[in-house]
Amino acid sequence: MHSYLTTLKPFGDEEETQSRTILWGIKSPSTLTATLLTTDDTIENSSLSAAVHSMGEYKQSLKMVVPLLRTASRLTTASASSSASFLIRRNVSTSGGGGNIPHIPVIRTLPQLRRWRQEARERKLEVGVVPTMGALHEGHLNLVRASMAGNPLTVMTLFVNPMQFAPTEDLSSYPRQLERDLSLLSTLLTTPSSSSSSSYSSPTPTRSLRGLGISEHESFRPPTPVANAAVESPLVVFAPSPEVMYPLKGELQDLGRHKGVRVDVKGWGEVMEGSSRPQFFKGVATVCTKLFNAVEPDHAYFGQKDIQQALLLKILVQDLLLSHPTSSNLHILPTTRASSGLALSSRNAYLSPPELVVAPVLHRALSSAVDLYTTSASPVDEEDGITGEDLISIATRTILDEQQRLLSAPEAEGGGVELRLDYIEVFDKHTFEPVRGKVEKGREMVIAGAVWVGTTRLIDNLLIGWEVN
Ligand SMILES: Nc1ncnc2c1ncn2[C@@H]1O[C@H](COP(=O)(O)OP(=O)(O)OP(=O)(O)O)[C@@H](O)[C@H]1O
Ligand SMILES: CC(C)(CO)[C@@H](O)C(=O)[O-]
Ligand code: BAL
């Protein structure tokens, strides 16, 4: 199988993309699949497939790319924060029309997962876990890449956890797109420029892909019954139902009525994100403890974008004496951003084009604080040193200035968008205590914030005095 991921920014014109794909030529019956992805998930996935048997048909089939290109150029003109990727796959068939697309085994139940884990253990294969709620983007893929680089086996967990959503929050509208997620993940099983097939081949025969149609390759299989052949795949997905994760069933969102076990990291879980979303870390800590117990990962991978979550989980595994993973095997990977600075996030999909223009302000605000810290890092004397309050103040000013600008901006530049600050805080990496007064040299801190852009709540952070590994 051949898989190509081309990032075009600004998006290339149709001619350029067509000629590039035509150059690959065609030697045997193939299936061409074109998928438009965006770095910040501002549009729904678009994917089309065509079976091709000759060079003529191959060129013809490239026409299907045109509507996707139009969407892409509309999108990139509408929003400076978006860059588009175009994934074109040519699956060469060995038996006339079908393709050997590497696919991701999907594990649904605990017994399946336990069997898979046991086999990994017997084969002495280390396991990395990447917990997510799906609606994947490059930030998630980077976590998977890190796990795959460090472990022969990776489990991406994909579960929209009801317990971390308050009853007033967006549980029902949270994007759920398993087929698209699996399709994206399958690109990680291929070598972009390799002319040979993937190092991993599907353990089950794939169905033929027929004709033009939406993503036939994505919906072509039911979730794989986990033959332990799944251990042959370096990447599997664990996508449990709420009943698997919460076997006592009952109330999961209204915590006043919830019965059963809950994990609560008091103190660390009650400030900043925990103060704005009092239920959030109770749900995260509970579900992650369950996921760690279920997968028993040697290593776990989380994103810096949710820095308080990642640091709190390190504390959780230490305090609960967990061994899989240990605190030092819980890795935090840097935030993946759009070119505008906006942190990639599944919830960016909620943003309208004008809101997408405004959203990068949070990163600009936090950057202004880090710039202030950096430029005043070597004060002539202690009196010149900056304070935690200075950092918060300059970041807050950036948000307030943006609010002012929006009052008279045209719609294309964000006019009409409601921007509201939730909080900006500078806190100690270890204690989560707010940093106030003079900032001591060498102190490891985080400046983090949350804003509402319309009805979407966005978070971001930057590190001061330390880096994630
Ligand atoms: N831009 C990013 N860069 C690096 N890691 C990220 C990024 N976005 C999310 N992650 C990480 O991916 C993991 C799963 O996150 P999740 O599925 O909630 O996605 P999300 O984009 O953060 O969604 P949401 O918009 O709901 O916050 C978490 O560890 C999270 O920190
Ligand atoms: C860690 C997590 C998967 C728990 O549901 C979620 O909070 C997330 O995606 O960041
Ligand atoms: N990325 C954190 C998941 C949440 O906001 O619910």
| Domain 346-464 architecture | 2-Layer Sandwich (3.30)
Task: Decide: 306 in ligand 3 pocket, CB within 6 A.
Answer: yes
User: Which residue is closest in CA terms to ligand 3's atom 3?
Assistant: 133
Mean pLDDT score, 174-179: 94
CA of 383 to the centre of ligand 1 (A): 40
**Which residues are known to be catalytic?**
140
Question: What pLDDT score does 231 carry?
Answer: 78
User: What does 11-29 look like in DSSP terms, one character per residue?
Assistant: PPPHHHHHHHHHTT--SS-
Question: What pLDDT score does 67 carry?
Answer: 61
Task: Decide: 458 in ligand 2 pocket, CB within 6 A.
Answer: no
Q: Which ligand is nearest to the CA of 165?
A: 3
Task: Decide: 289 in ligand 3 pocket, CB within 6 A.
Answer: no
Cβ atoms of 453 and 351 within 8 Å: the answer is yes
Question: What pLDDT score does 209 carry?
Answer: 23
**pLDDT greater at residue 268 or residue 75:** 268
Task: Decide: 161 in ligand 2 pocket, CB within 6 A.
Answer: yes
Whether the per-residue pLDDT at 205 is higher than 80: the answer is no
Whether the per-residue pLDDT at 121 is higher than 80: the answer is yes
Task: Decide: 399 in ligand 1 pocket, CB within 6 A.
Answer: no
Amino acid of residue 8:
L
pLDDT digits (tens, 9 = 90+) for 232-251: 899 999 999 999 999 999 99
- Give the other-Cβ count within 10 Å of 400's Cβ: 12
pLDDT digits (tens, 9 = 90+) for 333-389: 999 999 999 999 999 999 999 999 999 999 999 999 999 999 986 655 566 789 999
Per-residue CA distances from 211 to 33, 48, 103, 466 (Å): 11, 10, 20, 53
| Domain 101-189+234-336 architecture | 3-Layer(aba) Sandwich (3.40)
Atom of ligand 3 nearest to the CA of 165: 6
The helix (run of H) or strand (run of E) holding residue 8 is strand 2-8
Atom of ligand 3 nearest to the CA of 309: 2
Q: Which ligand is nearest to the CA of 157?
A: 2
pLDDT digits (tens, 9 = 90+) for 11-66: 343 433 333 333 333 344 455 555 555 444 333 345 555 555 556 665 566 666 66
From 216-220, 223-227, 315-319, the region with the lowest mean pLDDT: 216-220
Atom of ligand 3 nearest to the CA of 164: 6
Question: What pLDDT score does 224 carry?
Answer: 46
d(CA 127, CA 150): 9
Highest mean pLDDT among 101-105, 196-200, 418-422: 418-422
- Give the other-Cβ count within 10 Å of 418's Cβ: 12
User: Which residue is closest in CA terms to ligand 2's atom 10?
Assistant: 132
User: Which residue is closest in CA terms to ligand 1's atom 10?
Assistant: 303
Q: Which of 280, 282, 458 has most ligand 3 atoms within 8 Å of CB, for mutation? A: 280
* Of 51, 47, 53, the residue nearest 28 (C-alpha): 53
Residues of the chain with CATH 3.40.50.620: 101-189+234-336
Residues of the chain with CATH 3.30.1300.10: 346-464
Question: What pLDDT score does 203 carry?
Answer: 39
